[in-house]
A and B are shown apart, each in its own frame.
Chain A
Amino acid sequence: MTKITFVKHDGEEMVVDAENGTSVMNAAVDNLVPGIDADCGGECACATCHVYVDEAWFPRVGNTNDAEEAIMSLNPDRQETSRLSCQIPVTDEMEGLKVRLPEFQF
């Protein structure tokens, strides 16, 4: 299990235990984190699991892939550290990962 912190847009923090081998999106959905709808179920095809990765963590969560870039680029509220959480795998190295939940998804 790996601990991940989700920070709501109003600042409230939710710390969840995520199962390795799943994705950060799965961790949110399994723990009823609000604002992560994941309509497509993790296929990188709906962009409803958008998160802003904490700046310090951003270089450590891997690169944005092409499909992810294509769909995120349509969002005018996309930021420098935006990722789709279904594309971030949960591993031991992610222990302590912090992501913020965009207001536009609430």
Chain B
Amino acid sequence: MTDAAANNAIEMASQDSRNMYGKDPYSIPLEKYDIAQSALFHTNTMWGFFDRLRKEDPVHYCEDSIEHSPYWSVTKYKDIMEVESNPEIYSSALGISIRENRDSFNTTSFIAMDEPQHGDQRRTVQGVVAPTNLAILEPLIRGRVAEILDSLPVGETFNWVDRVSIELTTQMLATLFDFPFEDRSKLTYWSDVATCSPEIDKFVESEDERERILIEECLPAFTELWNERVNAEPTSDLISMLAHGKETRHMQPMEFLGNLILLIVGGNDTTRNSLTGGVLALNENPDQYQKLRENLDLIPKMIPEIIRWQTPLTHMARTALCDTTLGGKQIKKDDRLVMWYVSGNRDEEMIDNPYEFIIDRDKPRQHLSFGFGIHRCMGNRLAEMQLRIAWEEISKRFSKVEVVGEPVRNRSTFVKGYSDLPVRVHPL
């Protein structure tokens, strides 16, 4: 998205009386709150609004939203856990992001299914992120990380997002799918196509264009790989697993596409943005960067803290299958609920000093970024491993990855990340 287009979008939003961007959280009555405004996330100014919701109205209904249909905001850690733990009440089958699900592929991957289909399909691909498979992947990942880091231009300012975060996660995806390595940038492109908001960020022109790209470009490329692998001996890559899996080998094309998108998105911008977020967090907290340099054994504890601090997906959504109550509020059948992980991860009731980035935090894995319950992120240990290896290799080479300019954040209420982070690297 161009700066002009971004400014234009902010301009348009600010003319809407419902706009909250640029306003004081206490200047707007709670009943007018519409937290899911992309301008707030683009400018990283949503925090004060979430703080007030957690204090005064932790399960909050927004009837009249600028960008979305009516939705409940669930903002406290414990309430989010309650929703996650009751999938028979709070369904995933009607879509898992606040964006409305007109795109059919979104409703046909296992993240957006209830039991028993969810479990049947998930079990088929779970093996690719099993610890034994991760151990096989580790040296491969380390080698690729090393190559990327060794090619960085010392003494120049460059964009960490492009040169490291995107490159590394794209290479990882190509490895997991055994996708033709020279075409790997297509994976990142399709991931961005799948998660963008045409009406807001204009990454693609329209929902129709999104569907066209995924159905006419992404699906045929993977179908070709499927056809190769279904006729070959099973291997440990994801396509082969899907092609040979008992529960997945008879998938219809749209279901295949849905699951591909899930695995691409799941393995892509989440890790990408955590890798960028870690650099930013350490630069904003120089005492923590110093602590890290003095004790590299802290890296494994630092990784979950980075993932909490970043919260690369701001939320997941559910739909109530029956009337129920949550946090004292009456939820009606068919109501949409948004579990704001980004808010739960700053809930002082569950996390001490939640706004502080502390690389040796006690119980660092108690955060919501992976979700909980039956839909908990399948690739969580793979993500942690990739980030751990990245930081181990960064620390072997550079005394500091220095942020030398302002980050540019996504205009998205779903993917919390960056398109730019200007840095310079300082060799040891």
Least CB distance from B92 to A in Å reads 13
B119 engages A73 (CB within 8 Å): yes
A39 engages B366 (CB within 8 Å): yes
Known: A70-B87, A106-B131. A45 touches B376 (CB 8 A): yes
- Against B, the Cβ 8 Å flags (1 = close, 0 = not) of A20-47 are 0000000000000000010111011111
A56 within 8 Å of B by Cβ?
no
B372 engages A40 (CB within 8 Å): yes
B126 engages A43 (CB within 8 Å): no
A-B contact count (CB 8 A): 48
Size of chain A's interface in residues, with CB distance under 8 A? 21
Main secondary structure of the interface of A (DSSP, over half): loop
Least CB distance from A97 to B in Å reads 25
A43 engages B81 (CB within 8 Å): yes
Q: Which residues of B contact A46 (CB under 8 A)?
A: 372, 376
B131 engages A39 (CB within 8 Å): no
Residue of chain A at shortest CB distance from B367: A39
B87 engages A74 (CB within 8 Å): no
Which residues in window 340-365 of B have CB below 8 A to A? 363, 365
Known: A43-B85, A45-B85, A103-B131. A71 touches B365 (CB 8 A): no
Residue of chain B at shortest CB distance from A45: B372
B122 within 8 Å of A by Cβ?
yes
A74 engages B81 (CB within 8 Å): no
Q: Which residues of B contact A41 (CB under 8 A)?
A: 363, 366
Which residues in window 48-91 of B have CB below 8 A to A? 81, 84-85, 87
The 5 closest A-B pairs by CB, nearest first: A45-B372, A39-B365, A45-B373, A104-B131, A40-B372
Residues of A whose CB lies within 8 Å of any CB of B are 37, 39-41, 43-47, 67, 70-71, 73-77, 103-106
Question: Apart from A40-B366, A76-B126, what are 7 other A-B pairs with CB-CB below 8 Å?
Answer: A43-B372, A67-B85, A70-B87, A70-B119, A71-B376, A74-B126, A75-B126
